[in-house]
Amino acid sequence: MNLILPHGAYIPLMKDVPHAGIVCCLFLGVIAGCILADKSYERFGGRRNMALAAYISIPIVSAVLLVLRFGESLLAFKGLLLTFLFLYASHSDIRTRKCGDLLHVFILITALVGVQLNELPDMLAAGTFVFVIMICTSVIFRGRIGGADIKFSAACGFLLGMTKGLCGMMIGLILAIAVNAVIGAVKHRNNKKYGFPMLPYLAAGFLAAYFI
């Protein structure tokens, strides 16, 4: 594994991430989860314990699955960082229906970890292709897919590559349509009128594709 640097220079990285590194990330994830839960517990009917359980369990479960899938490797560490970024993106979209551009920059930076220069053209092609598809999807659905959703998907496509990027995008879109169709039917509500946050579904789709 290598970390890409300008002018074709590389810094060798350890093949395996120390166990302490993953534990440290989990500790920071729990703290971040507590902060997010404290700011969004009203979304859980005012129940702080339920909010805490939701925001803390996600990084823990993700870490366990990542280690089972990739071992204590750089891929597991990278996936855990993505989990934190995706969790923040989902939280921001649910609360404000907005997501700062800095998040997409962090995803792009994470994407470059362990990447060699000859992989960049394919990654750029994947990010561009996902971007174009999301633009077309937004036009078809008359703007219900926002700019943050499009930029988020493009950044994830750049990170995952063509096959996984398209797979993650499709999983996210299908999840969004299916889940909100059920919610609309149960609550007898027209989601076309009210809309819904898209990033939580896209985040779930791209995180699932990361495991492929």
pLDDT of 41 reads 53
pLDDT of 195 reads 65
Q: Are 102 and 117 in contact (CB under 8 A)?
A: no
* Residue 116 to residue 8: CA distance in whole angstroms: 9
Greatest Cα pair distance in the chain: 58
pLDDT of 138 reads 86
Using one digit for the tens of pLDDT, what is the confidence trace for 29-68?
666 666 666 655 555 555 566 666 767 778 778 887 887 8
Closest-CA residue to 167 (of 181, 176, 159, 157): 157
Q: Are 198 and 176 in contact (CB under 8 A)?
A: yes
Distance of CA 8 to the CA centre of its chain: 28
Could you tell me the pTM of the whole model?
Answer: 0.79
Closest-CA residue to 193 (of 184, 205, 202): 184
pLDDT of 12 reads 42
Q: Are 76 and 19 in contact (CB under 8 A)?
A: no
Residue 121 to residues 117, 127, 162, Cα–Cα distance (Å): 8, 10, 11
Q: Which residues of the chain register pLDDT less than 70?
A: 1-52, 54, 143, 188-195
Q: Which residues touch 101 (CB under 8 Å, ≥6 apart)?
A: 151
pLDDT of 168 reads 95
